[in-house]
Structure 1
Amino acid sequence: MGEKHMVRFEPVGVEIEVDEEETILDAAFRHGVMLMHGCKEGQCSACKSFLLDGDLEMGRFSTFALNETEEEEGYVLLCKSHAYSDLEVELLSYHEDMLNTGIPIQLVFAEVGEIEDLTHDIKRLVLKLVDPPEMNFKPGQYAEIYIPGTDTHRAYSMANTPSSDDRAEFIIKIYPGGRFSGLLDGELSVGDKMKIKVPFGMFMLHEKSEADIVFVGGGSGMAPIWSILNHMVEKSIDRKATFYYGARTEKDLFFLDELAAMEQKLPDFRFVPALSEPDEDGDWEGETGVITDVVGRLEGDLGGTEAYLAGPPPMIDAAIPVLQMKGVDEEHIYFDKFTTTGESEGSEQKEEAGPRFPGPAG
């Protein structure tokens, strides 16, 4: 371990101790301070802040996240910054009501409990926790799953809720050749040993709010929204909520019965699936078209509404302007982009379950 320094975050007045050998963002995770973050690899700029005072050094990062002019002016990426003196840092983006609600990161040893087919290319993975036998997280957060026998990991949102803290459940899209997702196609078996690091992420329900909610999801973006919805059921959070879920064909849909049952458990909840490529000879009677077009067609004024988006980047990039035109405040659009591993060089995303470029949209 290296020398330790104090880092003070303004304008919130939060202080943490940071070791020279860890990044400032990792130190915040260790202390349970919930700073805005995304890829954690210097690629996305979610943790961009401004150095007010002190000495730090940054590791390699993308100029897309922080250009030379910004660096010269004093902007820094906390995921790449090591403190070499006491520091004062201005946070450019934060949620004050969530800042001190973080949970310290922990390494958890587990074993495969179940692998279930949900669709032709999406599986449900259940890991039974061994050491420690339980974990703490917030609905919507994600875990880093280590590829067995390596120090390489992939990020996937947890699909269960904290009430089932003896296991971690994931909804994972299978990609041919995927370093981790590919293992679910016959290489991993029940009982295999695994390890995960949890929890990460800022994509979670703002429970102090009473605003109406619009969820928009696609693919394995179902996972964090499914976790949040089940949490709402467990906690009797009765806010008006609509979940728009986009798929290509009927064979890409899952949890239809469970979501129909959820409409009975949450009286103000509505689930709207839509197919972008419905079978012309099929009997689909639901919505058709790109899911963002469906949202635009069915929703009226959304002023005062909160929006939570999870899924592939093109879907989220298309949804944000639609929601803004409908009246959703930019600050109330929260998103989790699930990028594939090759889409952002050097980053550790979820293989289509993977932030790591979370909102708010600004």
Structure 2
Amino acid sequence: MSHKVKLEPVGIEMDVEEGETILSAAFRQGLMLMHGCKEGQCSACKSFLLDGDLDMERYSTFALADYEREEGYVLLCRSHAYSDLEIELINYDEDMLHSGLPVREALAEVRAIDVLTHDIRRLVLGLVEPADLAFRAGQYVDLTIPGTDHVRSFSMANTPASAGVLEFLIKMYPGGRFSSLLAGELSVGDRLRLEGPYGMCTLRPSSERDLVMLGGGAGMAPLLSLLRSLAETRSGRRIRFYYGARSRSDLFYLDELADLGRRLPGLTFVPALSAPAAGDGWEGETGMVTDVLDRHEDDLGSFEAYLCGPPPMIDAAVPVLIGKGIDESRIHFDKFTVSAEAGSATA
């Protein structure tokens, strides 16, 4: 059965099948509702049930406490409609709501697996069916681990202009269910299933604000996608990109970032090493990347921020950015669960 779901205070109505979650129905119809893990773990899609009857799949009480459930709060990624519903969105971005792209399933073929550092690999996929996948710079897809129903979320590093190709930067984890495949189990020509696009770490269509970006590890991926996209449009916006790594050997794509600096006159790239090796000869910034940003910046009130990296980095960065004058609504990042293996979660 299909039911009507009205979303307030934006006045949007959509159809939801009983077999799909409300969030999945929104994705299917190209509505960009706030979301993160899509697994009932992060609370990004928390909303309030105004009227109607729904049921929820299992979720974490860290995302939705029992007392909140009793008050009427729900997680859209876990909610199934059993009548027409009226739901109040708690977190939403009017600028993004109607800029969504319908989520699609796709089959892709491995074109390349390259070593970038001792623990970061570049995975390039060529789309087979369909031959292309529309997405926005900064978004991610879910890749299915072959032979299972399990997925891992990874952000694209390329831009939508790269027709039919998806590029990912993936951190290797000992025993990682997906990342371990890149150590020899996955080869050029192998095929993978994926679904997307997802994610809110995209440029806001109506904004021309200056940008501050903060990344670490494989979190380079969505930020590089944004930078490449800005270069394609010859953007004149000021961009401060702070990137954290442990030692000099953990830095990569420095030549491309230098080239992007020439194509984007407003770009300042600041790499920071938290534990430079004795032989690094490093004369740049040292310390945690959030502390480096704190030392460099005074007033960021005219900026908006884009973050991607380990959850502790995100947690440390948000209060720093707010303290520099950025409203929390202008701090953009995607929330991932630990099982996302950092391809985008800690990327």
- Report the equivalent of 1:344: none
Alignment of 1:137-176 (within 5 A): 137-176=135-174
- Between the aligned partners of 2:202 and 2:318, the Cα distance in structure 1 is 17
Letter in 2 for 1:261: D
- TM-score (ref. length: structure 2): 0.97
- Report the equivalent of 1:240: 238
- Report the equivalent of 2:195: 197
Q: CA deviation at 1:336?
A: 3.0
Question: Equivalent of 1:310, from 290, 308, 322?
Answer: 308
Q: CA deviation at 1:280?
A: 2.7
- Between the aligned partners of 1:173 and 1:214, the Cα distance in structure 2 is 23
Q: CA deviation at 1:257?
A: 0.7
- Between the aligned partners of 2:209 and 2:237, the Cα distance in structure 1 is 7
- Report the equivalent of 2:72: 74
- Between the aligned partners of 2:42 and 2:50, the Cα distance in structure 1 is 22
- Report the equivalent of 1:352: 342
Q: Which moved more, 1:326-335 or 1:216-225?
A: 326-335
- TM-score (ref. length: structure 1): 0.93
- Between the aligned partners of 2:345 and 2:48, the Cα distance in structure 1 is 23
Q: CA deviation at 1:17?
A: 0.5
Letter in 2 for 1:113: R
CA deviations on 1:61-89 (whole Å, 9 max, x unpaired) are 11111111111111111011100011110
- Between the aligned partners of 2:143 and 2:99, the Cα distance in structure 1 is 23
- Between the aligned partners of 1:141 and 1:132, the Cα distance in structure 2 is 18
Give SS of 1:263's match.
helix
Alignment of 1:174-253 (within 5 A): 174-253=172-251
1:8 matches 2:3: no
Letter in 1 for 2:122: R
- Report the equivalent of 1:275: 273
- Report the equivalent of 1:257: 255
Letter in 2 for 1:354: S
- Between the aligned partners of 1:217 and 1:288, the Cα distance in structure 2 is 15
Q: CA deviation at 1:355?
A: 4.0
1:129 matches 2:119: no
Query: Is the 2:159–2:226 Cα contact (8 Å) retained in structure 1?
Result: yes
Q: CA deviation at 1:278?
A: 1.0
Q: CA deviation at 1:177?
A: 0.7
Q: CA deviation at 1:337?
A: 4.7
Query: Is the 1:316–1:337 Cα contact (8 Å) retained in structure 2?
Result: no
CA deviations on 1:270-297 (whole Å, 9 max, x unpaired) are 1110101112333112111110110011
Give SS of 1:244's match.
strand
Instruction: Quote the RMSD (CA, aligned, Å).
Output: 1.2
Query: Is the 1:311–1:336 Cα contact (8 Å) retained in structure 2?
Result: no
Give SS of 1:32's match.
coil
Q: CA deviation at 1:149?
A: 1.9
- Report the equivalent of 1:90: 88
- Report the equivalent of 2:330: 332
Query: Is the 2:37–2:335 Cα contact (8 Å) retained in structure 1?
Result: no
Q: CA deviation at 1:268?
A: 0.5
Query: Is the 2:241–2:268 Cα contact (8 Å) retained in structure 1?
Result: yes
- Between the aligned partners of 2:335 and 2:228, the Cα distance in structure 1 is 21
CA deviations on 1:41-79 (whole Å, 9 max, x unpaired) are 111111010111111011111111111111111111101
- Between the aligned partners of 1:285 and 1:336, the Cα distance in structure 2 is 32
Give SS of 1:162's match.
coil
Question: Equivalent of 1:301, from 279, 294, 299?
Answer: 299
- Report the equivalent of 1:286: 284
Q: Which runs of 5+ in 2 are unaligned?
A: none
Query: Is the 1:175–1:181 Cα contact (8 Å) retained in structure 2?
Result: yes
Give SS of 1:143's match.
strand
- Between the aligned partners of 1:46 and 1:21, the Cα distance in structure 2 is 22
Letter in 1 for 2:28: R
- Report the equivalent of 2:114: 116
- Between the aligned partners of 2:337 and 2:21, the Cα distance in structure 1 is 24
CA deviations on 1:281-329 (whole Å, 9 max, x unpaired) are 3311211111011001111211121111100011111111111111111
